Structure 1
Amino acid sequence: MSNEEFHPAVQVPSDLVEAALRAARTRRTAVADVSMQAIAQEAGISRSTLLRRLGGSRHALDEAVRATGVDPGGHRPVRERAVEAGAALISSDGLAALSLERVATAAECSVHSLYAAFGGRDGMMQAIFERYGPFVNIEAALAAHPGDLRSTVRVIYAHLAHVVGLEPRVLPAILAEVLARPGDDATQALARHMVPRLYASIGEWLASEVAAGRIRDLPLIALIHQMSNPLLMHLLLRPALELVPGLQIPSVEEMCDAFADAFVHAVGLPDT
């Protein structure tokens, strides 16, 4: 899978460019140093909506600002450097290793600037998961809704497979932490962010499919697990399975097709 498949060129609406410029003028700083939350507030939308309209990152916005003749800023903002540094720490050492002090050292910034950008460690974890988790792309895919049940599931699987294999490997590291230390404070803090997002995206879509009579009326958590767990387990085990001599493993694309067929067969109602 190519990165272009999941990060196509985004045409940034002019109202978002103007909101970013206004936010920068109000704060007397470069556009690159204005947080996404501040830009979203200026635009009168939520941060998640802003990210969806930008395709999941602020790179397109910076380029659109530059196209107006305004330099968005020569230095990348603390928030972006910290998110990347934190993701690398989670991938290499696990969620428990994530601290403001370690991120500040890796991102070459102060702990105070991290508090200003995120409000604390929990906010930083949420920002990292927003960047390296699957929800932004999945929400955008569900908003576009490509059509029948199987094709929608297949698109969700494509995004999930992309995120699991993405470097740094944030999602696998987080899931490992959840399984190993479910009661840990950091795990609980992230769960309080992840679970509502799960229900607000995939959960709401599945509920609408039940209401439309396209899938079986099962408990919502059962439908979510039925859809996501088989593929997710395969993706997490796949790196180890690929090292087994003589074991023939279908491609990720073929596995996504197989699991999509299995999900539709398991829960789909006639004429879906």
Structure 2
Amino acid sequence: MEAAARLYGMHGVGEVTLEMVASDAGCTVQAIQGQVGGRDGLLAAVFDRYSPMPRVEAVLADPPADLESAARLLYGQVLDALVGEGRVMAAMFAEIASRPRGALAVHIRDSYAPRFVGLMMSWLAAYVEAGQVRRLPEKTLLSLFTGPVLARSAVVLATDEHPAPAERDRLAADLAGAFCRAVQT
């Protein structure tokens, strides 16, 4: 997966073959097919590893009690995954945009997105039940959280001007404050 991610970041998904990945990883194409099921499985595995999900899961395993602190940590992890080192996620998003019915887009729609929604809604439900967050439709609440960070990430990916860690931290704090002002009672 590391070899595939590196190559996707350098060349884009469409230019990378399983042979290139196998050569870079020092294995065979058959080994890749046996491990992840070929090109489509490799795309899904790389996306799952380099997307924000593992980082979000780690934060939400033991989130801070304070909504704004938790949101700031989550935004920081999402920004690090989306606009931090490398261009892996830019290549992944380009693949999704260019092939909306492709294997990666289907994986995100059928598996990744429902898992992410469930994770985020489980986190926010405690604040809603405690009366700290307004009862809003699920899609509205999630849009208020994800919309700004995805929009900012899209600009960064399009301009290739990746913010330094201190700037990402400041942006995470700004986004968390804005989210809390939008949803708190």
* TM-score > 0.5 by shorter chain: yes
Asked whether the equivalents of residues 128 and 134 of structure 2 are also in contact (C-alpha less than 8 Å), the reply is: yes
Q: 1:129 aligns with which of 15, 38, 47?
A: 47
Change beyond 3 A, Cα 1:198–1:132: same
Structure 1: gaps spanning 5 or more residues: 1-82, 244-249
Aligned-residue sequence identity (percent) comes to: 33
CA distance in 2, matches of 1:186, 1:238: 22
Deviation at 1:164, TM superposition (A): 1.8
Q: How far, CA to CA, are the matches of 1:242 and 1:136 in structure 2?
A: 24
Is 2:184 the counterpart of 1:268? yes
CA positional deviation for 1:238: 3.3
The answer to whether the aligner puts 1:219 opposite 2:137 as a matched pair is yes
| Aligned partner of 1:171 among 80, 89, 97 | 89
> Alpha carbon RMSD of aligned pairs, Å?
2.5
Q: 1:94 to 1:137 in 2, by over 3 A?
A: same
Size of the alignment, in residue pairs? 181
Matched, 1:106 2:24: yes
The equivalent position to 1:253 in structure 2, one of 154, 164, 169, is: 169
Q: Which runs of no fewer than 5 residues in structure 2 stay unpaired?
A: none
1:158-197 paired onto structure 2 within 5 Å = 158-197=76-115
Q: State how far apart, in whole Å, the 1-side matches of 2:19 and 2:26 are.
A: 10
The correspondence for 2:3, drawn from 76, 85, 90, is 85
The structure-2 alpha-carbon separation of the partners of 1:195 and 1:97, relative to structure 1 and needing over 3 Å to count, comes to farther
Q: C-alpha separation between the residues in 2 aligned to 1:125 and 1:173?
A: 10
Task: Tell me, in whole angstroms, the C-alpha distance in 2 between the residues paired with 1:197 and 1:97.
Answer: 29
Cα distance, 1:267 vs structure 2: 0.9
* Separation in 1, partners of 2:147, 2:44: 22
Distance 1:212 1:100, change over 3 A: farther
Structure richer in helix, relative to its length: 2
**Structure 1 residues 24-35: aligned runs within 5 Å:** none
Pick closer, same or farther for the CA change 1:130–1:215 going to 2, 3 Å: same
Q: Which has the larger radius of gyration?
A: 1
Instruction: Report the secondary structure of 1:251's partner residue.
Output: helix
Cα 1:165/1:186, change in 2 over 3 Å? closer
